[in-house]
Amino acid sequence: MGRSFIRIYKMEFKKEEIKTEEEARQKAIDFQRWASEENLSYSELADFNDYFKELGKRFNLSEEFEGNGII
């Protein structure tokens, strides 16, 4: 996939409103699946890492995200 797709995906990805712990967990699972098929730069990975750190804090999932390699 091209860089423009990744930029669009990141905008859509972050735009979605996560309202529950389960939605946050599913978002992380979906991200891992998607990211495993992409060639992401360190900068892009850092952006997603920041996003999931915030999500982990908000829903008390930081330990789980760390244990599963999300953050």
Confidence grade of residue 61 (pLDDT, cut at 50, 70, 90): very high
**pTM of the full structure:** 0.80
**pLDDT, tens digit (0-9, with 9 covering 90-100), for 3-44:** 555 565 665 666 678 899 999 999 999 889 988 988 888 988
Residue 1 has pLDDT above 50, yes or no: no
pLDDT at site 34: 87
Looking up tokens 């999500």 gives 55
pLDDT at site 29: 94
pLDDT at site 15: 61
